Structure 1
Amino acid sequence: MSKIDTPKSKSVFSKTGFVSLVTGLVATGALMAGSAQAVTLKMATDSGAKGSPAGNTLENWAELIEKNSAGDIDVKVFYQNELGSQNEVFDLHVAGDVDVMLNWPMTSYDKRIGVIYTPYMTLSWDEALKAYSPGGWVNNMLGGIYSDIGLKFFGPWPEGFNGVATRGKYATSIAEAEGLKVRTMTVFPAPQTMQALGYQTAAIDWGEVYTSLQTGVVDGEAGNVIYWDYEYFRDLLDYYVRSKHFFMTGVLSMNQDSFDELTEAQQKVVADAANEVMMTQFKAAKEQDQHYVAEAEKAGMKYFELTDEQIKEFARAAREKVWPLMDQEIGSEIMDTIRANATPL
């Protein structure tokens, strides 16, 4: 006879036991329901190692999310090159394999993203921060463009005005740039901008820049604020000229599908944390940039801040040659907004 047929076995299932069983099942169900709401987010940056300003922002963002969600959201952080090249990681972000990102946007999905790389839109810190801050005219344009490619735009992560770092020779005018070949970002209109300023160019992914400089493929690097050239290439480069052709900023964003899968409370935690690290960077960016100017000079790099007239020479050339190309690539409606708001020359 099987155990289930034994009278004694049936009597063990008393009323008290039944209540205990039901109570246990309810508690287990509640725990399962609670755990069903917990999520893991994959967070990455395409530029910035652990301990860099970008890397520190990623860590702070992740910590704020985990803390303010009371452990309901777990965040896995990945730094530059850990998930691939700049283009590859942005691909993963659009596809939803990277949920949250601090990115320097690629234009392969929508050339309008190139609006962030419009040369000489603004010429001063005050103008740039106003344009890129929440409610600013550049900020508003970027939000709509990111939405169209399936990304939730939280806001910019400003670094400052970029320049050209070179070896052996430097240029403070279009004429002096002749014969210098520099690395540019692999996005439109970065090569076109440097060509307008008199340089020869090679569009090279960030992960290959050191080797390209070391082997003489290029004479310099023309895509970044001084931090990156100091931190990664100070043993190879001698000069840094603050040409101000782009106001460099990363973007804090989230895959829209990943965002939509969160509860309202979880969405608020992620968005509030993004806003906090963004505003921290807005306050710190200028001082941070000046700190690395001083560090670069201490390391032996010669730094040049251009005069207003030198900047205007570059700006006129870039606006004359590059802005019409941008009309074709990103549309006259966006460019008309830029023309209406850009710093007068």
Structure 2
Amino acid sequence: MKTRLLKRVAATAVAAVLATTLGAAPAFAAKVIKLHHLNNDDPFDNPTGAMATVFKSLVEAGTNGEVTVQTFPNGQLGKDAEVLQQIKAGVVQSGIHSVGGFASAYPMIGVLDMPFAFPNISSTYAVFDGPFGDRLAGDIKARTGLEVLGFGDSGGFFAFTNSKRVIHSPADLDGLKIRTMGLDTHKTLVSSLGGQPAAIAWSEVYTALQTGVADGQMNPVPIVSFAKFDEVQKYLTLTQHLFAPYVWVINREFFDGLTPEEQAVVRYAARSAIVAGRGMARVIEASDRGLPHLAQRMEVYTPTAAEREAFREAAQPAVRKVIVERFGAEGEEMLDAFLAAIEATR
């Protein structure tokens, strides 16, 4: 009953957007945006599906079909790093990328990996929609040539899962093999808490957890549920230690070739789509496809404020050191601006 109600609420919200924006497109459109993302195109299934669907509707309606959007879900065009090269070359016009994939084009995205930094999920939106987000977008444009359309929600805060024990403190991670992305900051985070980081490709994570190659992993709750990790993991700890936004970019030459009116429509459509994706992430997280579902099969624990502080004190100095060593004075300045923007939301 609860799942059906949430689906009806979500369906009503998206239908309202579509009803006010759908328009007849002409048979031929001179400008086409090929949009890459890594998940299903179903707007009720995942945040990027919602983002892609709303973006397509708003762009095509707002330009009377002069600009059309072709979505390529489930990584059809390749992995994030590969597609970024296609976007730079203008073969693909736009993509919604994970920070892990985007690091191949812009390594300094790693400054966002400072753990236990955000007080709540609303603060993440304020930071990435505010002056710091503008600064980060400007730096990405300067270093990569890519125009940033915004920063989406990949599913919320990261949590730890494992098959061995409840995690109350860093000591409980001692010796656990934890799967991470291949990012130095993520690996340092795990090792600073006493765990053993294991960089494993996403396609191999379920099997690694099932066979014991890894004891645990870290991801947002919706991804834990979507990937069915509750089948091979017993414990879920809501540490809320990282927020990894999606980075949405578009080829700058293509964007500059749009009329000012079309550019305004594309930016408005992207902002609206990001809001829709954030809403869908929260709906999934709270629905029977998220935490309530996982709680039926896993032992869920939320650390106290004092326990989170112990995690923060153990992890932040180590990750900061890696960021400064890797990115130098520019990286440290960007990191300090990031932390100041977070502090301003408290």
TM-score range, shorter chain: 0.7 to 0.9
Equivalent residue in structure 2 for 1:59, among 53, 64, 69: 53
Offset, 1:249: 1.9
Are residues 1:80 and 2:74 paired? Answer: yes
User: Does the CA contact (< 8 Å) of 1:111 and 1:329 recur in 2?
Assistant: no
Cα deviation code 1:156-198 (max 9, x no counterpart): 1123211112223342211110121111122341111111122
Distance 1:338 1:56, change over 3 A: closer
Offset, 1:201: 0.9
Are residues 1:248 and 2:254 paired? Answer: no
Distance 1:166 1:49, change over 3 A: farther
Equivalent residue in structure 1 for 2:182, among 176, 186, 189: 186
* Distance in 2 of aligned mates of 1:276 and 1:342: 23
Corresponding position of 2:293: 295
Question: Equivalences for 1:271-290 in 2 at 5 Å?
Answer: 271-283=267-279, 285-290=281-286
Q: Which amino acid aligns with 1:242?
A: L
TM-score under structure 1 length normalisation? 0.80
Distance 1:211 1:50, change over 3 A: farther
Corresponding position of 2:324: 327
SS at match of 1:210: helix
Q: Which amino acid aligns with 1:147?
A: K
Corresponding position of 2:114: 118
* Distance in 1 of aligned mates of 2:183 and 2:118: 20
Offset, 1:38: 1.3
User: Does the CA contact (< 8 Å) of 2:29 and 2:65 recur in 1?
Assistant: no
Contiguous gaps of at least 5 residues in structure 1: 1-33
User: Does the CA contact (< 8 Å) of 2:158 and 2:241 recur in 1?
Assistant: yes
Cα deviation code 1:25-66 (max 9, x no counterpart): xxxxxxxxx9997112110113x2233322232122122222
* Distance in 2 of aligned mates of 1:214 and 1:261: 50
Equivalent residue in structure 2 for 1:39, among 26, 31, 42: 31
Distance 1:269 1:188, change over 3 A: farther
Bigger RCO of structures 1 and 2 (CA < 8 A, at least 6 apart): 2
Contiguous gaps of at least 5 residues in structure 2: 1-25
Q: How many residue pairs were aligned?
A: 307
TM-score under structure 2 length normalisation? 0.80
Distance 1:76 1:341, change over 3 A: closer
Q: Which amino acid aligns with 2:37?
A: T
* Distance in 2 of aligned mates of 1:218 and 1:83: 29
Corresponding position of 1:231: 226
* Distance in 2 of aligned mates of 1:37 and 1:49: 25
Corresponding position of 2:138: 144
Corresponding position of 2:337: 337
SS at match of 1:234: helix
Offset, 1:119: 1.9
* Distance in 2 of aligned mates of 1:249 and 1:335: 16
* Distance in 1 of aligned mates of 2:189 and 2:253: 35
SS at match of 1:248: coil
Offset, 1:140: 2.7
**Percent sequence identity over aligned pairs:** 26
Are residues 1:68 and 2:59 paired? Answer: no
Corresponding position of 1:4: none
Are residues 1:201 and 2:197 paired? Answer: yes
Q: Which amino acid aligns with 1:163?
A: A
Offset, 1:284: 5.2
Higher alpha-carbon Rg: 1
Cα deviation code 1:122-142 (max 9, x no counterpart): 122343232222x243x1332
User: Does the CA contact (< 8 Å) of 1:43 and 1:100 recur in 2?
Assistant: yes
Equivalent residue in structure 2 for 1:157, among 145, 152, 155: 152
Are residues 1:108 and 2:108 paired? Answer: no
User: Does the CA contact (< 8 Å) of 1:86 and 1:205 recur in 2?
Assistant: no
Q: Which amino acid aligns with 1:229?
A: V
* Distance in 2 of aligned mates of 1:125 and 1:71: 36
User: Does the CA contact (< 8 Å) of 1:85 and 1:207 recur in 2?
Assistant: no
Corresponding position of 1:50: 41
